[in-house]
Chains A and B, each alone.
Chain A
């Protein structure tokens, strides 16, 4: 062994010498072939008493599995899930424990059997090359040549080229058909249910909100009028149109000249859909006027058109321009003037 090691390290040195200027790191103390550990005879091979014990242990494990199966069956009947939700707990617990015992009993039993009682000797299998022998390779080439000769693939140019054409074009109809399978997105990402005159209503009841209801420091979770009564596509529409309504002191608002008319008496409405990845931003702090997104902690300043003050969001929350109608209810002046929610390709 020692002589062999020495040879190897010499070899390594020579290697290093050749590539001295390179970046290759040649390990000086690389791990050699540890060889096979000496065979250790198991207790179960030495003593029939131990072998008998191991046999009993395996049998007990398999019997435990049988008990587990019956227990799971019994538990399913004994702890039914009823109208009372708390029954789910006992049902899941006992059914699950029974099935665990039933599966683990088989698994552990089988492994224990293999480890203690099945033949125990070391086997070494030499690796062989993945490359086939020369004969096999020659035979394979012969087969391809013969097939080409018999089919006339190389000889008959017309057939070959028309076949290439047919193969290239056959996926086309499928591509066109698959393209039309899903819903056509169209401009649905750019518009929401809000339009001129839509009343702001409470989520989930759909009761319209009067400007006088929104007292200082209040937060209203708002959906557009008509959404509460929808049946189809209700969630899709809500996911785009959800709005948060807040009233601040007028002097706290720092509004752009161009957006001065978008608020009403200190009441401002912003899209609740985060511009980062679309979580509902609704953690409003009354005194800091910060809106926090629970997913990635993007923070928006409500006093300054919800500009981003912290976190990964890159755009302010879109503002819904609002006003009041003749009866004093809050209404939208128009839809959002930009797409709500996270960025998308053509935005």
Chain B
């Protein structure tokens, strides 16, 4: 009896229920806070006043001619108020900005600034108004679910970027770029900011985990060879058809000529 009572006692301390409820509240509340801060594109990324001031200097000397002295935008470039640090990191970090000349689409080119300078400009633009922040490293590792990422990619991305990210043409000289070799950070930033004519895929459309799965899928496609043999740049029927026209039909013609030729 005494053993049983002790057992009972050890099982249910009068404080147990309170502790469990408190822990539950803490976890769910904390988890919710974490989740919402991600969904709301964590506005409060800490930048110091010095960083912002340095960033503004860089902005005034390199960007203001098109985007306006107060980032309000001009005829040559859109307003940067509210585009967030992620936009700056993507556009400048991939070399698309500062743009050289106008055209249907600004191409990727050699990066013009150092990591540090890009960070300072991002700090300045982020200080103007809340916007998408540079993504958390934990969503950039290719450790997600590649199969799920592949399904999401085919539904949301493949129509423009090709089923394996080989890129494709859009209207009037615009195009969806090749995704092979694009860093996970830039892929993530492109999804949350929608650069140039790409639409935005916010966190309620594709959650950060979904985005990580897509990054995982792209990394998988980068690392693994095509199962079907040489992929001819994954361009599909045009490249494959040309190959068959030249080498397939060429081979058949060669054999026909040999069949009909007389032996020496």
**Chain A residues at the B interface, C-beta cutoff of 8 Å:** 40, 42-44, 85-86, 88-89, 92-93, 111, 115-116, 120, 202-204, 209-210, 213, 215-221, 246, 280, 282-288, 290, 292, 294, 297, 299, 310
Residue of A209, A284, A310 contacting most chain B CB atoms (<10 Å):
A284
Closest A-chain residue to B203, C-beta based? A213
Best-surrounded residue of B202, B204, B226, B258 (most CB of chain A within 10 A): B204
Q: In the complex, how many residues of chain B place their beta carbon closer than 8 angstroms to a beta carbon of chain A? A: 32
**Chain B interface, >50% SS class:** loop
The complex places the Cα of A203 from the Cα of B159 at a distance, in Å, of: 14
The reply to whether the CB of B228 lies closer than 8 angstroms to some CB of chain A is yes
| A287 adjacent to B228 (CB under 8 Å) | no
Q: Which listed residue (B194, B199, B205, B263) contacts A202, Cβ 8 A?
A: B205
Number of A-B contacts (CB under 8 A): 88
Known: A89-B227, A89-B229, A111-B259. A292 touches B202 (CB 8 A): no
**B227–A88 touching, CB < 8 Å:** yes
Q: How far is the CB of A215 from chain B (nearest CB, A)?
A: 5
Cross-chain contact A285 with B225 (CB below 8 angstroms): no
Give min CB distance, A104 to chain B, whole Å. Answer: 10
How distant is the Cα of A231 from the Cα of B197 in the complex, in angstroms?
Answer: 36
Answer whether A92 and B229 are a contact pair too, CB < 8 Å, given A280-B159, A282-B159.
yes
B224 on the A face (CB < 8 A) = yes
- The smallest C-beta distance from A343 to any residue of chain B, in angstroms, reads 23
A288 to B173, CA, bound (A): 13
A residues near B201, Cβ cutoff 8 Å? 218-219
B227 and A219 within 8 A (CB): no
Q: Are A294 and B171 in contact (CB under 8 A)?
A: no
A51 to chain B, nearest CB (A): 11
Q: Is the interface of A mostly helix, strand, loop or mixed?
A: mixed
Residue B197 contacts which of A204, A213, A285, A299 (CB distance < 8 angstroms)?
A285
B159→A86 contact, CB < 8 A: no
Write the nearest CB–CB distance from B38 to chain A, whole angstroms. 14
Complex Cα–Cα for A15 and B208 (A): 86
Check if B228 sits within 8 Å of A286, measured CB to CB: no
Please indicate the chain B residues that have their CB under 8 angstroms from the CB of A219 in the complex.
Answer: 156, 199-201, 205
Q: Does B5 touch A at the CB level, under 8 Å?
A: no
In the complex, chain B residues whose CB is within 8 Å of the CB of A120: 263
Partner of B160, one of A40, A111, A204, A283: A283
User: What is the minimal beta-carbon distance from A201 to any residue of chain B, in angstroms?
Assistant: 12
Name the residue of chain A whose CB is nearest to the CB of B162: A294
CB distance from A209 to the nearest CB of B (A): 8
- CA–CA, A284 and B199, complex, Å: 7
Distance (Å) between the CB of B145 and the closest chain A CB?
13
In the complex, per-residue mask of B193-226: 1 if CB is within 8 Å of any chain A CB, else 0:
0101111111011000000000000000000111
Shortest distance from the beta carbon of A275 to any chain B beta carbon, whole Å: 17
- Top 7 nearest A-B pairs (CB, nearest first) are A213-B204, A219-B199, A285-B197, A115-B263, A282-B159, A217-B200, A88-B227
